[in-house]
């Protein structure tokens, strides 16, 4: 009995720590607009360049300090790895650039829409590319979300391209990562490594033509640019730790923390317009997400009970 009780306590501690890591990761991702707003004076391509460079530096530092350098070198020597991670690097680069530009151009609310619809888009990609099957209520939630996007398109007079670009690039990135063999730490290190030379070349070019921001806008700006790497790697490592400790279905429930915080920042802090038209469109998407989440939770509970 004592051994069983001790095992239960260890399991509960593991779950609680995993939940804390998951919430921490999504809260940090949700508050990222605040960080990028502090760097609003830096052009978005330069912000992307610094995010890539300093992320690579910090990721390599984590691998080195954890004594995984030899394992990392061996892992990235697998055949066809560079082509797969080259695609992932291009997708995450476009995603990061779009996100940073949109935040500093005053479109935080629309970026939140992109990450609200991303889980549903990922489900559709699983059906199309991985031949996964959707349950009836999953199809219904995807259809409701599509109606919401269509409504916003008609109301705007054009596609909400920022939201769709973020959702498509991150959805495709997730699909590639699902097919890729490396873990999150090694994978992102390789991706940022593949983007490193183009990023450095652009930053040196910006400096050569007199447009570089680093070392020219004050020490606070410089430290914030360096910190862009930490703001990328810390939530990633927290998320990876959470995924090892708690079920992915539970991680999926927490993923809406991030776009919710972004949405609240856009409306309440940065005073972006949120009309009745937008409320209706977002409301339809939110209904789809509620349907999807409730169905997923009930399904996994039923299956877990049947397994026991």
Q: pLDDT tens digits, residue range 166-217?
A: 999 988 888 888 788 888 889 899 999 999 999 999 999 999 998 989 988 8
Q: Is the pLDDT of residue 277 over 90?
A: no
CB 182 within 8 A of CB 76: yes
Q: pLDDT tens digits, residue range 63-76?
A: 999 999 999 999 88
Q: Is the pLDDT of residue 276 over 60?
A: yes
Vertex 261 angle, CA 29 and 111, to 5°: 75
Structural domains in the chain (count) = 1
- The backbone region for 131, taken as left when phi is positive above 0, alpha when psi lies in -120 to 50, beta otherwise, is left
* pLDDT at site 190: 93
Question: Rounded to two decimals, what is the model's pTM?
Answer: 0.85
- Residue 61, number of CB atoms within 10 A of its CB: 12
Contacts of 263 (CB under 8 A, 6+ apart): 108, 109, 112, 116, 282
Q: Name the more confident of 4 and 216.
A: 216
**CA pair distance 32, 136, nearest whole angstrom:** 35
Q: Work out the end-to-end distance of the chain between its first and last CA atoms, rounded to an integer number of angstroms.
A: 20
Mean pLDDT along residues 2-26: 65
Burial 263-277 (b: 16+ CB within 10 A, else e): bebbbeeeebeeeee
- Write out the residue range of the structural domain in which residue 183 sits: 2-307
> What value does the CA radius of gyration of the chain take, rounded to a whole number of Å?
21
The phi, psi pair for 43, rounded to 5°, reads -60, 145
**CA pair distance 193, 60, nearest whole angstrom:** 9
Average pLDDT of the residues of the chain: 85
């Amino acid at each position: 009995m004592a051994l069983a009780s001790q095992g239960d306590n260890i399991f509960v501690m593991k779950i609680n720590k995993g939940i804390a890591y998951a919430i921490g990761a999504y809260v940090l991702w949700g508050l990222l607009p605040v960080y990028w707003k502090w760097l609003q004076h830096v052009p978005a391509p330069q912000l992307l360049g610094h995010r890539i460079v300093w992320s690579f530096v910090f990721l390599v530092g984590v691998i080195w300090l954890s004594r995984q350098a030899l394992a990392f070198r061996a892992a990235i020597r697998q055949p066809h790895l560079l082509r797969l991670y080259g695609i992932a690097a291009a997708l995450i680069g476009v995603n990061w650039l779009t996100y940073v530009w949109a935040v500093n151009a005053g479109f935080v609310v629309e970026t939140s829409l992109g990450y609200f619809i991303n889980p549903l888009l990922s489900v559709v990609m699983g059906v199309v590319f991985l031949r996964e099957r959707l349950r009836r209520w999953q199809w219904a939630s995807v259809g409701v979300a599509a109606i919401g996007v269509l409504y916003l398109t008609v109301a705007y007079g054009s596609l909400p391209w920022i939201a769709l670009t973020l959702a498509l690039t991150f959805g495709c990135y997730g699909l590639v990562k699902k097919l890729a063999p490396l873990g999150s730490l090694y994978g992102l290190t390789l991706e940022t490594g593949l983007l490193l030379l183009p990023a450095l070349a652009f930053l040196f070019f910006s400096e050569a033509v007199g447009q570089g921001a680093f070392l020219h806008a004050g020490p606070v700006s410089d430290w914030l640019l360096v910190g862009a790497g930490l703001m990328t790697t810390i939530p990633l490592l927290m998320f990876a730790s959470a995924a090892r400790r708690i079920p992915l279905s539970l991680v999926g429930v927490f993923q809406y923390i991030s776009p919710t915080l972004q949405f609240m920042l856009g409306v309440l802090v940065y005073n972006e317009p949120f009309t009745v038209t937008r409320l209706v469109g977002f409301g339809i998407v939110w209904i789809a997400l509620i349907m999807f989440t409730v169905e997923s939770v009930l399904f996994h509970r039923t299956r877990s009970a049947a397994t026991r």
